[in-house]
């Protein structure tokens, strides 16, 4: 549905987006993760026709976004990371204003407005002035606004940022509803765990480049193919260390008192084989465990690794 090919955006000599490619099939929730300044907002603005790319291609259902930006804008709902609202406008008037831009008929306008207010849980605030709403409510209202023309693709830039935990949970609840409704969504965050449970796909971006991308399960696999083992023995540490060193799946072995820690690139079967080998040699293994690796770890490792280069 959305296809980005070799996207480049430069500010002078600075590359904010560096040869980025990604693809989002219909119905996917694509999590766009990266630290601040990675280029998420820049990419999203290009998709929404708010910024011109330096080079590269963005296509929505095969249609070039830049060349047909007016047509594309009917199919995209965008929620920016920072935005303001008009003062002197009530919640319903606010939504009806954006509805009128899409030439939605009066009768439909009322119904859509009501439905959306229901969805984002602002029905009680319908007659309040928008600038009197709390941050979380404004954020939800902005999401309703992005949905007003029933877009095919939703582009949400850090929708949960700057919210207190309660508002964050409410926002997540709404996003989960949208997923159930079968919307295609591109959503960004600088916190991976925020997206891991919501998304079907994850792309990690750093310094304008896509570092890792794939389905959440693929990303998980990547995490677990980089497991960290911790082995504790009651005696014969040296021998155990030797056995581990000879194993080709082991990397970055380190020793701390009576415990050994090492990176391990292998499946669970490989792991049990390693344990059998240790026990088979008569090593008194006390614990043989895997340190919890989660998406956050991969993210840290991936982005840190980039920094060092």
Partner 1 sequence: MNINPVLLKELKVRMRGWRAAGIIILYLLVLALVTFMVMYESYNNIYTSTVDPGRTTGTYTALALIQLVLILFVAPALTAGAISGEREKQTLDLLLCTKLSTRSIVLGKLLASMSQVLLLIVASLPIFSVIFMFGGISIAEVAQLFAFYIIIAITAGSIGIFYSCYLKRTTAATVMTYGTGAFLILGTFFISYFYIGVFLGWDYQGFFPLLYTNPMVGFASLLGDQFGYGIGSIGLPGLRGSTDGRLLGLSPWVVHVAFDFVLTAVLIALSARKLNPVRVKRTRRNAA
Ligand X SMILES: Nc1ncnc2c1ncn2[C@@H]1O[C@H](COP(=O)(O)OP(=O)(O)O)[C@@H](O)[C@H]1O
Query: 34-73 mask for ligand X (x: CB under 6 A)?
Result: x-xxxxxxx-------------------------------
Gap between the Cα atoms of 305 and 309, Å rounded: 7
Q: Which is nearer to Mg ion, 3 or 81 (CB)?
A: 81
195 is an interface residue for ligand X by CB under 6 A? no
- Distance of closest approach, residue 111 Cβ to Mg ion, in angstroms: 34
Nearer to Mg ion, 81 or 306 (CB): 81
Q: State which residue, 12 or 182, has the beta carbon closest to ligand X.
A: 12
Stretch that binds partner 1, among 63-71, 107-115, 167-175, 299-307 (CB under 8 A): 63-71
Site for Mg ion in 22-51 (CB under 5 A): 41
Site string for ligand X, 9-38 (x = CB under 6 A): --x--x-x-----------------x-xxx
Distance of CA 6 to the CA centre of its chain: 20
Burial 93-106 (b: 16+ CB within 10 A, else e): ebbbebbeeeebee
Residue 207's binding partner out of ligand X, partner 1, Mg ion, none, with CB under 5 to 8 Å set by partner kind: none
Token representation of residue 2: 């959305």
Task: State the CB neighbour count (10 A cutoff) for residue 45.
Answer: 19
Interface with partner 1 in residues 102-121 (CB under 8 A): 102-103
| Contact yes or no for 42/51 (Cβ under 8 A) | yes
What's the closest the beta carbon of residue 175 comes to Mg ion, in angstroms?
18
Q: Which alpha helices (DSSP H) does the chain contain, by range?
A: 40-47, 69-72, 91-101, 106-119, 135-146, 165-180, 192-196, 216-224, 237-246, 268-280, 295-308
Q: Six-digit token pair at 14?
A: 């600075």
Residues with Cβ < 8 Å from 50, sequence gap 6 or more?
78
Binding site for partner 1 (CB under 8 A): 45, 48-52, 54, 66, 69-71, 73-74, 76, 78, 80, 82-86, 88-89, 93, 97-98, 100-103, 142, 145, 149
């Amino acid at each position: 549905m959305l296809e980005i090919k070799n996207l480049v955006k430069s500010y002078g000599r600075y590359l904010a987006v560096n040869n980025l490619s990604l693809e989002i099939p219909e119905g996917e929730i694509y999590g766009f993760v990266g630290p601040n300044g990675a280029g998420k907002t820049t990419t999203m603005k290009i998709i929404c026709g708010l910024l011109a790319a330096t080079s590269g291609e963005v296509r929505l259902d095969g249609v070039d976004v830049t060349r047909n930006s007016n047509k594309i804008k009917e199919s995209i709902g965008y929620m920016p990371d920072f935005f303001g609202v008009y003062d002197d406008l009530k919640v319903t008037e606010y939504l009806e204003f954006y509805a009128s831009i899409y030439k939605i008929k009066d009768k439909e306008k009322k119904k859509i407005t009501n439905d959306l207010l229901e969805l984002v849980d602002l029905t009680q605030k319908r007659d309040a002035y928008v600038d009197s709403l709390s941050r979380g409510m404004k954020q939800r209202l902005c999401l309703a606004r992005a949905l007003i023309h029933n877009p095919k693709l939703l582009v949400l830039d850090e929708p949960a940022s700057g919210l207190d935990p309660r508002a964050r949970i409410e926002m997540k609840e709404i996003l989960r509803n949208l997923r159930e409704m079968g919307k295609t969504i591109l959503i960004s965050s600088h916190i991976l765990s925020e997206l891991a449970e919501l998304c079907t796909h994850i792309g990690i971006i750093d310094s304008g480049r896509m570092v890792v991308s794939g389905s959440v399960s693929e990303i998980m696999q990547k995490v677990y193919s980089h497991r960290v083992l911790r082995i504790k023995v009651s005696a014969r540490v040296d021998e155990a260390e030797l056995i581990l060193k000879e194993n080709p799946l082991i990397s970055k072995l380190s020793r701390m008192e009576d415990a050994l820690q090492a990176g391990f690139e292998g499946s669970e079967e490989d792991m049990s084989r390693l344990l059998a080998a240790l026990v088979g040699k008569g090593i008194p293994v006390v614990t043989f465990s895997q340190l919890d690796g989660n998406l956050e770890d991969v993210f840290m490792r991936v982005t840190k690794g980039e920094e060092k280069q």
